[in-house]
Amino acid sequence: MSSSSSVHHVSEFRKYAKDYNPIAIGSIDGQDTTPHDNGIQRAADSFYKANSRVSGNPRNTIFIGRIFRETTESTLRDKFQRFGKIEECRLVRDLITGISKNYAFIEFRERSAAIAAYDSMNGVTVDGARLLVDFEWERRMKGWKPRRLGGGFGGKRESGQLRFGCRDRPFIRPKSQSIVDYRDVFRHQKSKKKEK
């Protein structure tokens, strides 16, 4: 492999998924071509269309995960309203029991408020639980599959069904099979900076 193709390979790496490919999402570096668990196979075989009952602007909506079961919508509003006007706060609950499923969505009036909340609230503790704050992906990411179909970005280490390519678990740069001349990589990066 020539050094120019090595440079090309290095520049293509992305920590976060651009499109949702269940097989790639199930791999630590986004390079897998075969599913390694039944959930990934189920997601790859499934068809999913975004929930049409959800309204609002997906670009202004954040996802809040790992919420303490007793946390309420009013608590979430209190914690997030400092970033801007909240259009809607929806704590997802079980349809039968009404018990929180430990995640919620908040839609802000302005995109800048959603970005500020994304930047500031990830890892903040609310009611004893450390929050995971990310953007809503269901209506924004091509090919999205929810966790119930084996997709999503969730998963527990104990189950062996981890998903990558997200804020919580970004892809790790794949180990190159060839020797990369890093002097060429740095030259390429410097020349790109000069072009800007």
pLDDT, tens digit, 9 for 90 and up, residues 50-87: 888 888 999 999 999 999 999 999 999 999 999 999 99
> How far is CA 105 from its chain centroid?
14
What Rg do the C-alpha atoms of the chain give, in angstroms?
A: 20
d(CA 118, CA 131): 11
Q: What is the pLDDT of residues 145-192, one digit of tens each?
A: 998 899 999 887 877 789 999 999 999 988 765 444 555 555 555 555
0.85 exceeded by pTM: no
